[in-house]
Structure 1
Amino acid sequence: MKRIFELTMKDIERMDKNTLIETIKTSEGRTVMAETIVTVPPLVYGVSNMELAAAFGSDMITLNFFDFQKPFIFGIDDVEINFSAEPSELQKIVEIASKNAEDFDYIKRVKKIVGRFIGVNIEPVPEGVEYVEGRKLNKENLLKAKEYGFDYIVITGNPNTGVSVGTIIKGIELAKEILGENMMIIAGKMHGAGSGNIYEDKILKDFVKAGADCVLIPAPGTVPGIDLKLAKRQIDAIHQVGALAMTTIGTSQEGSQKSTIEFIGVQSKMAGADIQHIGDAGYAGVALPENIMALSIAIRGVRHTYRRMAYSLNK
């Protein structure tokens, strides 16, 4: 079986959930996930943040702020919009988003452009919290995630959403019911999200019992109190119940100096992470591209990093 940094676009298109999970296991802690915000103009004109993250070594791309009711990705869907023209030109955004909402090949086409596994954040916000409907974890949005062809979902919470352990567990259970074995479910908290961090191993195991295939935790050095020892204990607990473990940089440190990213990457690898995630809070909805590459080099060296960066989509 190929490792994740050896996959071509043809390999990615043929993969189902279980094969993806086995590929990540085969890669021995050398899988890189980058998160991007889809609602802001890209860092580099003429290329989406998704493509930029892929070009700098990411294997998996997670979309943040994706709206299932009005799907629109800057850098992909705005190429024919002239933002310098009259205000009526902006109406095209609404028209394109409405068209995308009814196009169930939408993400499949995006995947062909980016050439990576593509997932989406979907948030189990508590009842009564005012939040964008298209970003909430509910039956309608989960069905659309399945129909669009995402490779995985990430059940977590952006800052100040009030997402809690209880809402995550309920969200996992609903996702498992609707998605079944069609899509990998990743769940957990990268930070407090307005309702506190997770330090108990039992909670992480409860996520797996509810149906999570992979559990995410903050990477060592990102959240107060999360050091190598605690991260390793938590990852061991996740592995004990048969799930993958992902460490995350979700505290804006994706905009730190490269030495910080390298330190976090090596600490996470020592802790046993299967996937290492780097967040979207660089300059404009994506980590500093150099930091994505620095994370990749830190955990798998230049040979495999350059291979991932250079592989032709059509090979």
Structure 2
Amino acid sequence: MKRIFELSYEDFFRLKKREILNTIKHSEGRTVMAECVISCPPLVYGVSNLELAAAFGADMVTLNTFDFDYPFVFGIDDEGLSLTRPWEFAENHRIKTAENRENPDYIKNIKNIVGRFIGVNLEPVPEEIKDFPKGRRVSKENLEKVKFYGFDYVVITANPNTGVSSDDIIKSLELCNEILGEDVIIIAGKMHAAGKENVFDEKIVKGFAINGADIVLIPAPGTVPGMDVDTAKRLIYEIHSEGALAMTAIGTSQEGSDKETVKNIALLSKMAGADIQHIGDAGFSGIAFPENIMELSIAVRGKRHTYRRMGYSLRK
């Protein structure tokens, strides 16, 4: 079995859910996920944030703020559209999202460009919060679209100030398993409080696994108040005891810190037993500083495997 940093371009299309999970487990804490905001122009004109994340060492790339009602990825779907003529851009944007909505190969075509496992965030936002986009909520309709488009995984989590609680996440997992089953990896947990509580309770993180999360995410040590390496290690032990994998997340804008901070968080997460290390999207323009993605990768798997992953970005 290949480890994740040994996968070729073709492997990212060939592997199914259980094979991907086994590959991650077999990689012994050396899997890197980068999250990207796709609803704003990318950091570098002419190339999407998703491509940048892949080029700097990510194995898994997560789309944040992707709206299933208006599917559009800046850096890819705006190619050839003029940002200097906003009235034309707005009209073309409407046409493009209408086309994307009906295209079963839409995300597959993006994956052809990026060459990595591609996932998407969905959020179980409480119904009383009316101004949150319907296309970004956990719902039967959106989960069916996850399968329709062929995403490799879905992340059930909470963006800042959404008011999502751990109970909201747990309640959503039954629907996720019912619809996604053995086709799509389910990741669940909180990177930060999101306007409610931080997660330090073993029963809660076990509850994510017991209720069907294949991978449970927790804040990385040093990213939220009180989350140190011992706390993370205790929570990861409980996650592993239920047969799930564990992911530590940098979701508190420290993805825009200096490289020493990122490397330190990465090593603490590895000491705690993380199977996957996530780096968030709050550097500039919806992506971590690209060099910080690379530094995280080097910290957990060295330059040899990091350069291999970066080099495979070019092999199609």
TM interval, short-chain normalised: over 0.9
Q: CA deviation at 1:88?
A: 2.6
CA displacement 1:259-304 (0-9 Å, x = unmatched): 0000000000000000000000001100000100000000000000
**Normalized against structure 1, the TM-score is what?**
0.99
Q: CA deviation at 1:313?
A: 5.1
Alignment-derived partner of residue 109 in structure 1: 109
Query: For 1:111-126, what aligned pairs fall within 5 Å after superposition?
Result: 111-126=111-126
Question: Are 2:209 and 1:208 equivalent residues in the alignment?
Answer: yes
What CA distance in whole angstroms lies between the structure 2 residues aligned with 1:89 and 1:137? 29
State the percentage of identical aligned residues: 63
CA separation of 1:232 and 1:310: change in aligned 2, threshold 3 A: same
State whether residues 4 and 24 of structure 1, in contact with CA within 8 Å, keep that contact through their aligned partners in structure 2. Answer: yes
CA displacement 1:117-144 (0-9 Å, x = unmatched): 0000000001111210000000000000
Matched letter for residue 54 of structure 1: A
Alignment-derived partner of residue 82 in structure 1: 82
Query: For 1:137-148, what aligned pairs fall within 5 Å after superposition?
Result: 137-148=138-149
Q: CA deviation at 1:165?
A: 1.2
Alignment-derived partner of residue 52 in structure 1: 52
What CA distance in whole angstroms lies between the structure 1 residues aligned with 2:313 and 2:148? 27
What CA distance in whole angstroms lies between the structure 1 residues aligned with 2:196 and 2:2? 40
More displaced, 12-21 or 79-88?
Answer: 79-88
Q: CA deviation at 1:220?
A: 0.2
Q: What stretches of structure 1 move > 3 A for 4+ residues in a row?
A: 312-315
**Normalized against structure 2, the TM-score is what?**
0.98
Alignment-derived partner of residue 248 in structure 1: 249
Query: For 1:1-315, what aligned pairs fall within 5 Å after superposition?
Result: 1-85=1-85, 87-130=87-130, 131-312=132-313, 314-315=315-316
State whether residues 262 and 298 of structure 1, in contact with CA within 8 Å, keep that contact through their aligned partners in structure 2. Answer: yes
Q: RMSD in angstroms over aligned alpha carbons?
A: 0.9
CA separation of 1:128 and 1:288: change in aligned 2, threshold 3 A: same
CA displacement 1:181-220 (0-9 Å, x = unmatched): 1010000000001111011101111111111000000000
Instruction: Identify unmatched segments of 5+ residues in structure 2.
Output: none
Matched letter for residue 233 of structure 1: R
Equivalent pairs counted in the alignment come to 315
What CA distance in whole angstroms lies between the structure 1 residues aligned with 2:129 and 2:289? 32
Matched letter for residue 88 of structure 1: E
What CA distance in whole angstroms lies between the structure 1 residues aligned with 2:296 and 2:134? 34
What CA distance in whole angstroms lies between the structure 1 residues aligned with 2:295 and 2:88? 42
State whether residues 83 and 90 of structure 1, in contact with CA within 8 Å, keep that contact through their aligned partners in structure 2. Answer: no
Find the residue that maps to 2:35 and give its secondary structure: strand
What CA distance in whole angstroms lies between the structure 1 residues aligned with 2:66 and 2:276? 22
Q: CA deviation at 1:89?
A: 3.5
